[in-house]
């Protein structure tokens, strides 16, 4: 039986709709939530992502600004811009789009964002809070993945969750969120032996590596919930996920498409974090 397709686009639209109400309540109290995105360099995919984030802000009534800096921007200039935005009362969320130009130290840059405005959840303090199960901003993609799994009607408690990919922005924080929900979590990576055998154990399989169609049907347990975080541009210009969707949908119980799965949820969760940052600023 073909899998249920988990519609991230419509779930994200619902979420954004409910965020509009929260934004209106803040505006009534004299505070319009604001998000500043810093785009350093001219990576075309980053440009699209930042533009989509700004559009989602417009759609929900959140003020947005895009700060474009040249590829050869100095770390000092970038840190000064972040400091200015940290102090700007009209800005509640500050994000630095990744990847950064190679000459910049991403850890130093991300840690320069005020933790209270770190709506991407990439500051060491917010990631540390996540490790300890304390309140803080959770990165949008892993938070969105958790919502999608829940929306698919899958309770992860006691189940095997396998994450393919160990990035700081998806794999590692997602492992912590799944652990908080009592899943048994395995993280696979490029040195994992027999990825297929490990993946086949998964009740919930999440692919977040950036390799088109890495996950094939023979790597999926029948009935598993499969979440595809990959967004890969193919030579013909089309987008493909990390999962061979057409084949895997015949095996899985539920699956996210690319596009229209995780991507829209990442943005919705970012807006949710920005609204939360604005609420906290007046509490
Ligand atoms: N690059 C890839 N994903 C993300 C994200 O969620 N936030 C930022 N800032 N950069 C990214």
> Is residue 97 within 6 Å of ligand 1 at its C-beta?
yes
Average the pLDDT over 147-168 and give the result.
Answer: 98
Question: What is the predicted pLDDT for the residue at 45?
Answer: 94
Average the pLDDT over 121-150 and give the result.
Answer: 98
Where does the pLDDT of residue 39 fall: very low under 50, low under 70, confident under 90, or very high at 90 and above?
very high
Average the pLDDT over 100-114 and give the result.
Answer: 98
Nearest protein Cα to ligand 1, atom 7: 97
**170 CA from centroid of ligand 1 (Å):** 9
Where does the pLDDT of residue 212 fall: very low under 50, low under 70, confident under 90, or very high at 90 and above?
very high
Where does the pLDDT of residue 15 fall: very low under 50, low under 70, confident under 90, or very high at 90 and above?
very high
Kindly list the catalytic residues. 53, 97, 120
> Is residue 106 within 6 Å of ligand 1 at its C-beta?
no
Average the pLDDT over 158-166 and give the result.
Answer: 98
Where does the pLDDT of residue 182 fall: very low under 50, low under 70, confident under 90, or very high at 90 and above?
very high
Question: What is the predicted pLDDT for the residue at 120?
Answer: 98
Q: Give the position, in ligand 1's atom list, of the atom nearest the Cα of 96.
A: 9
> Is residue 183 within 6 Å of ligand 1 at its C-beta?
no
Question: What is the predicted pLDDT for the residue at 92?
Answer: 98
Average the pLDDT over 232-249 and give the result.
Answer: 96
Question: What is the predicted pLDDT for the residue at 230?
Answer: 97
Question: What is the predicted pLDDT for the residue at 108?
Answer: 98
Whether residue 177 is predicted with pLDDT greater than 90 in this model: the reply is yes
Q: Which domains does the chain have, with CATH numbers?
A: 31-116 (3.40.50.10860), 140-262 (3.40.50.720)
Question: What is the predicted pLDDT for the residue at 249?
Answer: 98
Q: Give the position, in ligand 1's atom list, of the atom nearest the Cα of 95.
A: 9
Instruction: Tell me the C-alpha distance between 211 and 201, whole Å.
Output: 21
Q: Give the position, in ligand 1's atom list, of the atom nearest the Cα of 99.
A: 1
Mean per-residue pLDDT over the chain, rounded: 98
> Is residue 162 within 6 Å of ligand 1 at its C-beta?
no
Instruction: Tell me the C-alpha distance between 222 and 238, whole Å.
Output: 28
Whether residue 1 is predicted with pLDDT greater than 90 in this model: the reply is no
pTM reported for the whole predicted model: 0.98
> Is residue 167 within 6 Å of ligand 1 at its C-beta?
no
> Is residue 120 within 6 Å of ligand 1 at its C-beta?
yes
Instruction: Tell me the C-alpha distance between 262 and 248, whole Å.
Output: 17
Paired sense of beta strands 93-96 and 160-164, if any: unpaired
Q: Give the position, in ligand 1's atom list, of the atom nearest the Cα of 141.
A: 6
Residues 6+ apart with CB under 8 A from 26: 32, 33, 275, 278, 279, 282
Nearest protein Cα to ligand 1, atom 2: 98
Tens of pLDDT, residue by residue over 42-86, are 999 999 999 999 999 999 999 999 999 999 999 999 999 999 999
């Amino acid at each position: 039986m073909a899998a249920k397709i988990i519609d991230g686009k419509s779930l994200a639209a619902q979420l954004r709709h409910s965020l509009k109400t929260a934004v209106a309540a803040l505006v009534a109290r004299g505070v319009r939530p604001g998000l500043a995105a810093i785009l350093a360099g001219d990576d075309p995919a980053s440009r699209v992502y930042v533009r989509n984030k700004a559009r989602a802000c417009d759609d929900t009534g959140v003020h947005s600004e895009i700060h474009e800096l040249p590829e050869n921007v100095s770390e000092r200039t970038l840190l000064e811009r972040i400091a200015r935005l940290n102090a700007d009362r009209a800005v509640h969320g500050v994000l630095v789009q990744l990847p950064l130009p190679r000459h910049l130290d991403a850890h130093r840059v991300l840690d320069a964002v005020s933790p209270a405005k770190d709506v991407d959840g990439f500051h060491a303090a917010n990631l540390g809070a996540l490790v300890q199960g304390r309140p803080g901003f959770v990165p949008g993609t892993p938070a969105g993945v958790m919502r999608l799994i829940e929306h698919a009607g899958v309770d992860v408690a006691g189940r095997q969750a396998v994450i393919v990919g160990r990035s700081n922005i998806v794999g590692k924080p997602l492992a912590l969120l799944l652990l908080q929900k009592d899943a048994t979590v395995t993280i696979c990576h490029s040195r994992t032996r027999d990825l297929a055998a490990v993946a086949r154990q998964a009740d919930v399989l999440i692919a977040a590596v950036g390799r088109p169609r890495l996950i094939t049907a023979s790597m999926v347990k029948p009935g598993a919930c499969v979440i595809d975080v990959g967004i890969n541009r193919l030579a013909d210009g089309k987008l493909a996920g990390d999962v061979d969707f057409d084949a895997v949908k015949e095996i899985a119980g539920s699956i996210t498409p690319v596009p229209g799965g995780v991507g829209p949820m990442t943005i919705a969760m970012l807006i949710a974090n920005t609204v939360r940052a604005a609420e906290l600023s007046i509490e």
